[in-house]
Amino acid sequence: MTQPSDHQPVMLKEVLQGLSIRPDGVYVDGTFGRGGHAAKILAALSDKGRLIVMDKDPQAIAAAQEQHAHDARVTIIHDDYARMKHHIEAAGLALNVDGVLLDLGVSSPQLDDAQRGFSFQTNGPLDMRMNNAQGETAAQWLMQASEQEIADVLWRFGEERFSRRIARRIVEYRQHTLINDTDTLASLIRECVPSPRGKEKGKHPATRSFQAIRIRINRELDNIQTVLDDLFHILKVGGRLLVISFHSLEDRIIKQFIRRESTPPRIPKGLPLRQAGITAQVRLRAIGKAIKAGLQELADNPRAQRGAQNRRTSRLMRRVYWLMLLVVLVTGSALTVVYVKHESRVLFAELRQVQKLQDEEMIHWGRLQLQNSTLLTQANVETMARKKLGMVLPDNVQIVTLPTDE
Ligand SMILES: C[S@@+](CC[C@H](N)C(=O)[O-])C[C@H]1O[C@@H](n2cnc3c(N)ncnc32)[C@H](O)[C@@H]1O
């Protein structure tokens, strides 16, 4: 039986603190893996608590079945966490979830199993699908994608400087030979990329490209975006989202989400509204700052220890585990959404009112300007002076210019 203890969960203490588990609460672990985090969450729940675990990897789901099939508190779902909202709604738990955990990326068992094709350390079929029961493999994709598309993926998802060169080499090579295994792909990349130097020294030249292709095959960034956008249909008011991310592309999406949802809307100057009232309407509050895994954790983690036997791998593992933890408190969901919408409608109405008043003022101002300019014509001034003040303009003959003192 797969024991969760086989896999040491990352940043366990921070995860448990961050989720601030309520014994009777409802929790979702969207990335079960081998259940390291799930087991600890479960241990903190009472008989009334619930844990929904998801993973798109059939092997992870098999492990979840082995570990928890008989626990009535646990629901096991084999699906992408991008469909979390659908499952939560189907279970009647919409807006009732106390906490969601996402431990992003690949698991150690996935990396270690050469048959999954995630790693260039040992040769295996070029698969890279997290759900290896469906969808296109990396080999299939590389055989049919255009050179431009391959280059784009390597650049966007791997920030690979030699993306064009690698794409050209792949397209050239595939004209006569299949790229079916990880060794072939890694050697093609090695031909195009100079040995990493400086900060990147010791890193395998294929690291960035493998990451990029994996992200493309599993649509990883799209899935993160989807689940974040759906959070306000899942979490209850005061519910928490906790994300462990592995690289800057994931980080960026999460940070942008936090910024977008926790920044109050700017109100135009002059509106009769107070910023404090608007600030209270943000849907989300970030708790604390992103936390990085400590060196102690790097040292304690079995993968890092294993890596220490091989200096190159050791550096690689340090990078992998140099991760970020983001804790987010959603201060309001459904109610707040409605309220925010309502507030924005009020704001909109007030803005329209102000604009209408402004338009009327402009028309009035225009009329006055017109009147003013008409009144200021010489003939008008003369008429008014004559009629209202009884003044008479002198003839030109009567006008004498007096010399000045100078
Ligand atoms: C880093 S591991 C999680 C490890 C887990 N926290 C533990 O303690 O064992 C990431 C897991 O998330 C899964 N995964 C990645 N993307 C997913 C997605 N979009 N939907 C569902 N599962 C996903 C992977 O298959 C993998 O099993």
> Is 6 a residue whose pLDDT tops 60?
no
Nearest CA to ligand 1 atom 4: 33
Lowest-confidence region among 91-105, 173-187, 256-270: 256-270
Tokens of 91: 């279970």
Q: Strand pairing of 291-292 and 97-103?
A: unpaired
CB 217 within 8 A of CB 304: no
How far apart are alpha carbons 183 and 16 in whole angstroms? Answer: 39
What mean pLDDT do residues 63-82 have?
98
How far apart are alpha carbons 266 and 254 in whole angstroms? Answer: 22
C-alpha 106 to ligand 1 mean position (Å): 6
pLDDT category of residue 267 using cuts at 50, 70 and 90: low
Q: Is 35 in the pocket of ligand 1 (CB under 6 A)?
A: yes
Q: Is 15 in the pocket of ligand 1 (CB under 6 A)?
A: no
Q: What is the mean pLDDT of the chain?
A: 81
Question: What pTM, to 2 d.p., does this model score?
Answer: 0.75
What mean pLDDT do residues 171-180 have?
97
Q: Is 116 in the pocket of ligand 1 (CB under 6 A)?
A: no
How far apart are alpha carbons 340 and 52 in whole angstroms? Answer: 29
